[in-house]
Amino acid sequence: MLMRGGTSKGAFFLEEDLPVEASTRDELLMRVMGTPDARQIDGVGGAHPLTTKVAVVSPSSDGWSDIEYLFLQVGVEDASVTDRQNCGNMLAAVGPFAVERGLVDVNDGLASVRVLMRNTGGRAVATFEVQDGLPVYEGEAQISGVPGTAAGIDIEFLDIAGGTTGAMLPTGNTADDVAGVSATLIDNGMPVVVMGASDLGVSGAESCEELEGNEQLRSRLEVIRLAAGELMGLGDVAATTIPKMTLVSAPKSGGTVSTRTFIPHRCHRAIGVLGAVSVATACLLPGSPAEAVAELPEDTNLVRLEHPSGVFDARVDVRPGNGLPVVEKAGIVRTARKLMDGFVYPRAY
């Protein structure tokens, strides 16, 4: 099934329909997507990392979750498939897909599906409308980066702090000097390096095309990313898609903070869901580069992140901890839609 989840798009499979051996599975998925090829002309990939994604879904027997979700990022020009990161946008469509495939029993009205995110071990609860036993896709919710409106899907994240690195702040600091730049190294859903745009010689209001065309900036970001990967306990990240890199600046349109995110080498046209939760959390940490430029509203846990195609709202509850802040919960609203259901014909070996 091809589905849009949030501002991403990809192929959704039942795990039982894919090869058990990971290398064989990954080779098949590259042929399905048309990888490696910049246009992915011989597959169903969208010629961009955000539209070349795969969700693998299966029933769960862990006693808490209803289903398990494994996210796989397929390369476009490079022959690669990685499970090193999660994807919160694709997560938005996982619950509806599970209902479509009969993996969970739901009643009409609001249904809640408990999801174990296998990439990190984190948990999430997706709540969405069901009618006549099937997900409702039409509605009035609107998210930046997606034309029109659709049915809202509420997602609450549980115990996602440190899902990849082992700690929300893997260095134990709200700010570190990384290759000469002050940065927050944070993992509250997605490992992200958060830096002030001005510290990188840009305003933070540039278009994605301008930033991607700035070779000096991109080279410096990669130096910082490689150093941050070591500091975050991720090891050599040269061949991985984490950590993400987010430049923050003062808000321009009434939000909390303005963002430009590299994922890690292309500038995101919006911002990833789990990356957004990490950046929103950074805005609430005293002494962080994000907190230094953020305009935080009083008496609310809502953080509005401005990005190249609009805004992203995240609700993050942070309380003081034993020396470091503790995130109690985080929630977002996304939308999803079924695009096509049928058979895909991968190119031959």
Give the residue extent of every domain in the chain: 2-160+335-340, 176-316
Contact 29, 344 (CB under 8 A): no
Average pLDDT over residues 306-325: 86
Name 58's bridge partners.
68
Are the C-beta atoms of 92 and 72 separated by less than 8 Å?
A: no
- Mean pLDDT, residues 16-36 taken together: 98
Span 218-230, average pLDDT: 98
**Is the Cβ–Cβ distance between 142 and 148 less than 8 Å?**
yes
- Rounded CA separation 56/159 (Å): 21
Q: How would residue 258 be classed by pLDDT, with cut points 50, 70 and 90?
A: very high
Q: Band of the pLDDT at 160, cuts 50, 70, 90?
A: confident
Distance between first and last Cα of the chain:
22
- The percentage of residues in the chain with a pLDDT greater than 70, rounded to a whole number, is 100
What span, in angstroms and rounded, lies between the C-alpha atoms of 57 and 113? 13
Instruction: Place 147 in a pLDDT band, splitting at 50, 70 and 90.
Output: very high
**pLDDT for 324:** 77
pLDDT computed for residue 300 by the predictor: 74
Task: Name the residue among 120, 26, 12, 125 with its Cα closest to residue 66.
Answer: 125
The mean-pLDDT minimum among 23-27, 218-222, 268-272 falls in 268-272
Instruction: HSE, CB side, 13 Å, CA atoms: give it for residue 237.
Output: 29
pLDDT of residue 227: 98
- How many Å apart are CA 208 and CA 198, to the nearest integer? 16
pLDDT tens-digit readout, 64-80: 999 999 999 999 999 99
Residue 318's pLDDT is 82
The backbone region for 231, taken as left when phi is positive above 0, alpha when psi lies in -120 to 50, beta otherwise, is alpha
* Mean residue pLDDT across the chain: 95
Q: What is the pLDDT of residue 62?
A: 92
What confidence category does residue 317 fall into, taking pLDDT thresholds of 50, 70 and 90? confident
The arrangement of secondary structure in 2-160+335-340, i.e. its CATH architecture, is Roll (3.10)
Q: Which amino acid is at 131?
A: Q
pLDDT tens-digit readout, 86-143: 999 999 999 999 999 999 999 999 999 999 999 989 899 999 999 999 999 999 999 9
Confidence at 303, pLDDT banded by 50, 70, 90: very high
CATH number of 176-316: 3.10.310.10
Is residue 25 helix, strand or coil?
A: helix
pLDDT classification of 283: cutoffs 50, 70, 90: very high
pLDDT tens, position by position, 229-250 = 999 999 999 999 999 999 999 9
Please answer whether residues 234 and 227 qualify as being in contact, where contact means their C-beta atoms are separated by less than 8 angstroms.
no
Q: Are strands 191-196 and 244-249 parallel, antiparallel or unpaired?
A: parallel
**For residue 36, is the peptide bond before it cis, meaning its omega torsion is within 30 degrees of 0?**
yes
pLDDT confidence of residue 26: 98
pTM of structure: 0.80
Residue 322 has pLDDT above 80, yes or no: no
pLDDT at residue 323 greater than cutoff 80: no
> Letter for the amino acid at 98?
A
198-214 pLDDT per residue, tens: 999 999 999 999 999 99
Amino acid at the residue 231: L
Q: What is the largest CA-CA distance in the chain?
A: 58
How many other β-carbons are positioned within 10 Å of the β-carbon of residue 180? 10
Asked if 2-160+335-340 and 176-316 have one fold, the answer is yes
Please report which confidence band the pLDDT of residue 320 belongs to, taking 50, 70 and 90 as the band edges. Answer: confident
